[in-house]
Amino acid sequence: MPNKTLLLLSICCFFIASYAENQAEKIDSLTQLIGRQTGRERIETLIELSEIYRKISVEKSKEADSSASALANQEGLDNMKGIILLSMGKTASISGDYDMALSYMNQAVELLEEVENYKELARTYVNLGLVYKNLSDFDAAIEQFDLASKLARQHQLKDQEAAAAANKAIVFSSLGNYQQALENYQSAMKIYQETQDSLRYAKMLMNTGLVYWKWDKNDLALELQLQAKDVFELKKDFVELGRVYNNIGRMYYQDFQDTTLALEYYQKSLEIREKLGNQLGMVTVLTNIGNIYRDKDQLDKAFENYEKSMKISQFIGHRQGVALASYYMAMAYRQVKQYHESNRLLDTTRSVAKALGLASYEELVNSAKLNNYASLKDFDSFLKEFRIYDDHKNEMRDEIVNLKYELNKTTEEMEVIKREVDLKNEQLAEQQDKVLFCRIFLLITMLTLLMVAYKLYKKNYS
């Protein structure tokens, strides 16, 4: 490892140690405070303690949540139970137990609605959206973020309105809808500027940079990531530092072809995420490190990182991570001419991707399997896979034909509607002319009758 990398890691470790020391001081302070508190105040401190533990020890976080719940039951503080359940849900989500997280959070929604605690209710909707996002149920995620946004606007909850917009932007970005992603990030940035929240503003800078990166505006994307990094380092926000280091690593690797700098930033990200116990984050960066070693033909290290990523994804139920790791492992096995093992992993990728509706994997898997069968000279299997390719191509062609048909059908329907509207307008104009004629005729008739009446009057009384 280059000296520069060692220096960066040493600095990173120093900051993490400082951060851990700072967190330990906070924990000690809160623990002492709990001993002097009772009732609602004590529960609020336990929840704060759980939030701190969530970043360094999931088990300790669960203990704090459990203590808060027991105290609320003991003292009959029913109006606190929804807040406690939200905390328990967030802890479950961090640990990768998404089913439990959803259960806790849905219970929290019911209780918070009953006591009309709209601030915590909006926060719960945001966190529900995050769980659904991690489960790749993007429609459900957007639905929850919309509920949070609507509630936040109704009750002037600026922070939750911004959080809903920011997280909705992440989902739109995952779906490839970069314009809507950018619009939502800009909405969130505007609120964070108004509230002078520099840390959250930096997060929006980082995420906006990712949108520009996907639009191939690489220099601007990297510039925004580096700006965000400086703020996170200043504020010692290690959760976001783990994320931004990974982003910078990806950009150096994929766009600037600087594997040395890329590996430095990946390793810094992994170091932080391991210290924090962020398993979802570890999945991503381990796969990225594996790709660099694969490019360097250091395949033992590549497989080591892919396998770690795969095991963590399977453990926490992160199916997108399984699909990604299995695909890259398959490509690495192809590189060492282990074509059967490569195909087995490609089948895993295909199966998981289909279950998640990730259509982008099909072409990649299909191409890789065709190449593997050609290398194996397994022409029967090649033909079977080619039929899948052909069927997929035909499906896409049929979809295009259907879309064109629907477009033409809609255009024809619009023409029919336009003709009907034009006809109705003509009929209306005719009716208006008739009404005008009738009014004029009635006016003339009335004037004529008045004149006749006037003449008769004069004749009779003159």
Angle between the N-to-C axes of helices 238-254 and 198-214, in degrees from 0 to 180, rounded to the nearest 10? 20
Q: Write out the two tokens for 77.
A: 């503080």
pLDDT of residue 16: 47
DSSP annotation string for 191-206: HHHHTT-HHHHHHHHH
pLDDT band at 421 (very low <50, low <70, confident <90, very high): low
Average pLDDT over residues 354-371: 88
pLDDT at 376 over 50: yes
Positive or negative, the Cα torsion across 354, 97, 16, 304? negative
CB-CB contact of 86 with 54 (8 Å): no
List the one residue out of 283, 271, 279 whose CA is nearest residue 19.
271
List the one residue out of 252, 232, 249, 250 whose CA is nearest residue 241.
232
Look up the pTM and report it.
0.60
Q: Strand ranges (DSSP E) for 369-457?
A: none
pLDDT band at 435 (very low <50, low <70, confident <90, very high): low
CB-CB contact of 257 with 295 (8 Å): no
pLDDT of residue 11: 45
pLDDT of residue 4: 47
Chain segment 121-138, per-residue pLDDT in tens: 999 999 999 999 988 899
Distance between CA 325 and CA 300 in Å, rounded?
15
pLDDT of residue 417: 57
Question: First and final CA of the chain: distance in angstroms?
Answer: 128
**Cα angle at 58 between 45 and 50, to 5 degrees?**
5
Distance between CA 337 and CA 339 in Å, rounded?
5
List the one residue out of 211, 214, 216 whose CA is nearest residue 189.
211
Chain segment 157-215, per-residue pLDDT in tens: 999 999 999 999 999 988 888 999 999 999 999 999 999 999 999 999 999 999 999 88
Average pLDDT over residues 338-343: 94
Chain segment 261-270, per-residue pLDDT in tens: 999 999 999 9
Radius of gyration for the chain, computed over Cα atoms and rounded to the nearest angstrom = 32
- Which one-letter amino acid corresponds to residue 307? E
Average pLDDT score, the chain: 84
**% of the chain at pLDDT higher than 90:** 53
Compute the residue count for the chain. Answer: 462
pLDDT of residue 434: 57
pLDDT at 437 over 70: no
- Share of the chain residues as helix, strand and coil, in percent rounded to the nearest 5: 90, 0, 10
DSSP annotation string for 214-258: HTT-HHHHHHHHHHHHHHHHHHT-HHHHHHHHHHHHHHHHHTS--
> If 0-12 CB within 10 Å is exposed, 13-18 middle and 19+ buried, where does residue 416 land?
exposed
Helices (H) and strands (E) in the chain, counts: 19, 0
CB-CB contact of 147 with 163 (8 Å): no
pLDDT of residue 2: 45
Angle between the N-to-C axes of helices 279-295 and 259-276, in degrees from 0 to 180, rounded to the nearest 10? 160
